[in-house]
Amino acid sequence: MLKFRQMSRSSNGRQKIRKRVVKKEVSSIVSDRRKAVVENITQELATKLSPSIVSLASFDGDKMHFRSTGIVLANSSSGGACVLTSSALVSTSDKERMLTPALKIKLRLPNNEVVGGWIKRYRLPFSMVVIETRFSPDLRAACLNKTVQVEPHSQLLAVKHCFHSGKLMDTRGEPIDGPSEVDSEGFMFSTCKITMDGSGGPLVDFDGNIVGMNDYHDQKFTRYVPTNKILECLRDIWLCVDEMEDLSITFKPFRFTEGCSSRVQGQFMVC
């Protein structure tokens, strides 16, 4: 009996060791997969993109409501900075995305400074919202080029700015070809898998050219607003580029359309 019990304990010990080994192997596999999907962005791209990408978080009291990434549209000492992001930042979590105006908004800048922000424009197509904050010399308006095209099978990066760590991260994928690549709302899709805090972040090519703004949709694919559609929406808010060129305005001002009480000045960079 004593011998049998000893063997039993020895067998249990081997089982425990085997379980620990299997658990460690599974943990290692999961870790490797995560590393393959989410990576630190290259230093070259980080240098190019970092001044134009911020992270945002909204709070209901002390409770965090949502985190997102934003693209800097404008920044000037006289008018402050404007950031484009997903309306999920300030909306209800259902499909309707109803505005929740009482939320407090914070932005983490490229220099890791955390500043307050407020809603500047909400009712934009493609579930986009413009957040305003104070001027920062560390911010630079993103270069949006309406002529940038996404070629089939081209490599794309979905970039996000982490609110807690301040790091730039990317997930990699390709555009989705075929009849379903554009939905009824005009969104296009890529195989870049993002988490919710990647909503509002830029979709870029390997040269760092912004081809769209990501919006978290589901875990299978990521939908995005093409850059040319973003520019069409922004023309309703700011003076169009052609009009500014006709007026020979070198410092590109922008203004809000009728019905908006505030006017701002800054730089809205279109390449």
Domains of the chain with bracketed CATH = 39-238 (2.40.10.120)
pLDDT at residue 33 greater than cutoff 90: no
Q: State pLDDT tens for residues 44-59.
A: 888 999 999 999 999 9
Q: State pLDDT tens for residues 52-78.
A: 999 999 999 999 999 999 999 999 999
222-226 and 63-76 strand pairing: unpaired
Strands (E), the chain: 38-40, 53-60, 63-76, 80-86, 104-108, 114-124, 128-133, 156-161, 168-173, 188-190, 202-205, 210-215, 222-226
* DSSP state string for 231-247: HHHHTTTS--HHHHHHT
Confidence of residue 123 (pLDDT cuts 50, 70, 90): confident
Confidence of residue 12 (pLDDT cuts 50, 70, 90): low
The answer to whether residues 129 and 68 touch, using CB atoms and an 8 Å cutoff, is no
250 compared with 187, residue with greater pLDDT? 187
* One-letter amino acid for residue 170 of the chain: D
Distance set, CA 24 to CA 17, 18, 30 (Å): 11, 10, 10
pLDDT of residue 181: 56
Calpha distance 82→176 (Å, rounded)? 31
**Sheet strands side by side (includes 38-40):** 38-40, 168-173, 156-161, 202-205, 210-215, 222-226, 188-190
Which residue bears the tokens 């920062």? 136
Q: State pTM to two decimals.
A: 0.74
Calpha distance 102→236 (Å, rounded)? 26
The answer to whether residues 199 and 68 touch, using CB atoms and an 8 Å cutoff, is yes
128-133 and 188-190 strand pairing: unpaired
